[in-house]
Structure 1
Amino acid sequence: MISTTYTFLDNLAEKRRKALQERRMAREKAVEDTLHLWEKEILPDWRVVHKNAELRKLWWRGIPTKLRAPLWEKAVGNELALSKDHYRTCLSRAKRALASGIFPQATLDLIEDDMLTTLPVIHIFHKETGPLYGDLKDMLCAWVVSRSDEGLGYTVGAAKIAAMLLINMPTQQGFIVMRNLLERHCLRSFFGGERTKDDVEAYYRIFDTMLADGMPKIYFNFKQHQISPGAYLPEWLIPLFLDHLPFEACARIWDVLLLEGDSFLYRASLGILAVLEPRLFFPERKELIELLQGENKAAIDVAKREGRWPVGGKYEIYGVDEESLWERIESMEDWWKESTWTRLIQRELPDL
């Protein structure tokens, strides 16, 4: 019965996919056609986007690929005031530690394992043949050194963030962007280990409140099955969605995240649940957890039978792609309010 339901859902999803694919291609062409506008109006001072509604809409459609490096760097900023030599210094310390055998082996193993599952389909980070394997490993080892002064270790998922940056910009530039990006409070909390556990719990409460307000059926279903945001939200936020969503969908999420700030992490996460909603009402908690982990057996069996093994993130088997996700994100305009996010932050994290 469940398998039959999945076949029906997947047939519907396939029809939607074709229509959404056409929309995606049209949108990508439109983005490239506006390159001159980006270069003339936005690149000189990206902050103009906050004052101009039309330019903001343009940004939400996605930054042209060739402009992501300079615009991501500008939007993230450098509040840590890191020098251009910061990466070279941290990498030198990391290499000395590796050469002398004092770089923790357990940390090195975590890095290697994390790299192994980083964008495996595009092969550029493959250990034997990937042209960016060495750069990614160097960047992660340097990142560990840069955090060691604060007593922080490696967080699994960091390889995905470093990889996204390396695809879009040189290592030295990407390292400084990564250090500053992960200092933003929400991400810093999820990357902070035990010392930021209370803040993470506060972010879970905020997400639960927003889920209850915007998608009450999903909220009550999760409550009935005793599924808290802790069962899925860290798996999305720590790698900034790269484990579960197609690469281009993630890049576009990053575009808007860097413009809008932490609240967009939640808006994107709610968008994912909205796409998954038809599949979220299982009688068994175990099945629901498997679905959220991207490991639902019935969906996998259907994908295998139809020759659709996922190449664009774990949720590809559920029909989650860039266009379907963005359709849900934009439909939230009916109820999403930045003022609600601000109020919840002030309530749950008053010292922020």
Structure 2
Amino acid sequence: MESVSDVPLEVPVHHVSAFDFDDAFSDGDVNEIAYQFSPDAIREDISRNMPSMEAPWSDPEAPAPSNGFFKVEDLSVSTLDMNGSGNVSRSESPPSTPPRSSGRGSLELPAQFSQISLSQSDSGKENHHPAPAEDLPTYGAEIHPYPNIVIDASAGKSHSHRVSSTTDLQKRLDERAPSPPFISSERPPDSAYSTQSLPTPSPSHPLQPRPLSSSTTPTPTSSPSPTAPTFISNSTSIPSSSSAPQAQAQPQKPFGHRPTRSTGPSAFEKVRSKTRPIFLPPKPRQEDDKHMADWQSMMKLSRAAADKKRKALQERRLAREKHIEDSIHIWEKQIVPDWRVVHKNPNLRKLWWKGIPTKLRASMWERAVGNALSLSKDHYRTCLARAKRALASGVFPQSSLASIEEDIMTTLPSIHIFNPVNGPLYADLKEMLCAWVVSRSDEGLGYTPGAAKIAAMLLINMPIQQAFIVMRNLLERHCMRSFYGGEGSKEDVEAYYRIFDTLLADGMPKIYFNFKQHQISPSAYLNDWLIPLFLNHLPFEACARVWDVLLLEGDSFLYRAALGILAVLEPRLFFPERKELLELLKGENKAAIDVARREGRPLDGGKYEIYGVDEETLWERIDQMDEWWKESTWTRLLQRELPDL
């Protein structure tokens, strides 16, 4: 009687073999001869049931061989032998029935299988080599587009395993063995059966799962010889071997697309025309290159002309500022003692309109704005102390504080003195705005975005206590109070919109009808201009001059300056789409931004600088409005729209 360790264990892999339950479990099998579960018996039975060379492979009338335990219809079987046998056997037979799936899954295995040995045949043998490829049988072999891999791992961990492709072996076997009598031109259907023979558990060899990833996974190599075997060890690293030096020299390449290197212009670049629209036929290459060179030269000349124009404009601005500074003695003698004289003297009024000298701007602004609220010099300190107590106790509105921080971030970014990180006037600006919010809290008003621009302009020209008083009185003027008054002054804001619409229709009818055609009302753009007093859209020098006249003339000059801006933008306002027109009014026209970037102009100044709006062009349009602008028209419109004013 054979020992238990000599009996191999048959386990199915992926599929359960087809059992004949009448033969395997019936009571009539008592008198039959018991089947011997030994390697020799299995090999003898396989060799006895294997068809001869003369027998046809696809005879549908031939009965299926039976070994007394289970019936295997004409299907190929591959086994995994780990019982120490070094002989490699292979059995292939083209199936005559369609593949059958087991109850555990519907996986279909290919018809060509190879026996894989993963155990040592003899413990005493140190160097064990698999059977040569010439000894493999060639029954039923055919060229397969996807080669199978023969892996022999019968040696221990210290030995290397031989991996060879069955398609490579087929080329050698065809030279030695005759071809089978029948080879089907079609690919045989996959087999549905596969079993493995595993050794029985023993104290010295426990039955444990063994990782097969390193020995069962085919490794792609770049060996020049198709029949040269590749030796792979049990580990993931490839050991050095004299039999495969070329495979070791080249590392394994990752799967994926191979990178391509451009060796010149593509076929598309050769025919693409850069100077003609894509919906037209391309130009000849020589003509296209010539036109491209002409375009580049024109762009170079255009940039040179733009630089020359900017330099000339800068020179004129410097000359104008120098003229203003040279007239300071007139200001000190005639205007500083009594600024109201400018309303009586046209020459002094014209001098004021040209701009106030920087040295006198703080005192002239304070006098022109006045102190209608009768605020004391300590008013700022009182409001700031209340704001600090509110911040310390957490009573200060967090929404207003967040709006202040956000508004400061966009305040005069080209000057950089109000930057939250290293701006020297950032703390003063924030404290001034917090004090302004506290001073309005008694009226139930909060923070209005845009106030940071006005506070910043005042801080640049005067001390913080003086700037706070000027800011409070300036924003108490009726027009500015309406725009800063929140929901309570919504009706007054609508009245001011109607006044501007009437002035636009009288002075610039083309722009008025164009806006009406696109359904654009003054509320789409006038609010963004008046709340920050043009600081978001005009250059800083132009804004300073507008402020000089605004504080002298009052609210009427706000509308005159707004009309002057539209006069400068008039050539750009006739867009076929409403969206493009709104983008231009917001200072976000993509074409103008691209031109400014190409010319190297900064984009952190006024939004309308990209349209060519500067101090000189704006004041040219404002001076041209003297022909039709009348203060009586402004007064009449105020009485009609705001009778209670």
* Global fold match (TM > 0.5): yes
Where does the alignment leave 5 or more consecutive residues of structure 1 unmatched?
none
Q: CA deviation at 1:19?
A: 4.6
Q: CA deviation at 1:9?
A: 11
Task: Tell me the residue number matched to 2:104.
Answer: none
Task: Tell me the residue number matched to 2:541.
Answer: 248
Task: Tell me the residue number matched to 1:185.
Answer: 478
Between the aligned partners of 2:551 and 2:307, the Cα distance in structure 1 is 32
- 1:21–1:323 Cα contact (<8 Å) kept: no
Q: TM-score, normalised by structure 1?
A: 0.95
Task: Tell me the residue number matched to 2:554.
Answer: 261
Task: Tell me the residue number matched to 1:53.
Answer: 346
Task: Tell me the residue number matched to 1:338.
Answer: 631
Summarize deviations over 1:202-245 as a string: whole Å, max 9, x none: 00000000001111100110010001100000101000100001
Pair 1:44–1:101, CA change in 2 (3 A): same
Pair 1:314–1:186, CA change in 2 (3 A): same
Q: Paired residue for 1:283, among 536, 555, 576?
A: 576
Structure 1 position 73 matched with structure 2 position 371: no
SS in 1 for 2:414: helix
Task: Tell me the residue number matched to 2:494.
Answer: 201
- 2:303–2:599 Cα contact (<8 Å) kept: no
Between the aligned partners of 1:72 and 1:126, the Cα distance in structure 2 is 25
SS in 2 for 1:122: coil
SS in 2 for 1:310: coil
**Paired residue type of 2:419:** H
Task: Tell me the residue number matched to 2:329.
Answer: 36
Q: Paired residue for 2:424, among 100, 124, 131?
A: 131
Between the aligned partners of 1:59 and 1:197, the Cα distance in structure 2 is 34
Between the aligned partners of 2:324 and 2:621, the Cα distance in structure 1 is 20
Between the aligned partners of 1:9 and 1:203, the Cα distance in structure 2 is 42
- 2:369–2:474 Cα contact (<8 Å) kept: yes
**Paired residue type of 2:535:** L
Between the aligned partners of 2:591 and 2:496, the Cα distance in structure 1 is 32
Where does the alignment leave 5 or more consecutive residues of structure 2 unmatched?
1-275, 277-294
Between the aligned partners of 1:266 and 1:10, the Cα distance in structure 2 is 35
Summarize deviations over 1:149-173 as a string: whole Å, max 9, x none: 0011100000000000000000000
- 1:17–1:319 Cα contact (<8 Å) kept: no
Between the aligned partners of 2:625 and 2:322, the Cα distance in structure 1 is 25
Pair 1:11–1:199, CA change in 2 (3 A): farther
Q: CA deviation at 1:22?
A: 3.5
> 1:91-240, aligned counterparts within 5 Å?
91-240=384-533
Task: Tell me the residue number matched to 1:316.
Answer: 609
Between the aligned partners of 1:260 and 1:236, the Cα distance in structure 2 is 18
Between the aligned partners of 1:209 and 1:178, the Cα distance in structure 2 is 29
Q: CA deviation at 1:298?
A: 1.0
Q: CA deviation at 1:24?
A: 2.0
**Identity rate, percent:** 80
SS in 2 for 1:120: coil
- 1:10–1:319 Cα contact (<8 Å) kept: no
Summarize deviations over 1:145-197 as a string: whole Å, max 9, x none: 00000011100000000000000000000000000000000000000010000
CA RMSD of aligned residues (A): 1.9
Structure 1 or 2: more helix by fraction: 1
SS in 1 for 2:472: helix
SS in 2 for 1:241: coil
Which deviates further from its counterpart, 256-265 or 8-17?
A: 8-17
SS in 2 for 1:276: helix
Between the aligned partners of 2:405 and 2:642, the Cα distance in structure 1 is 35
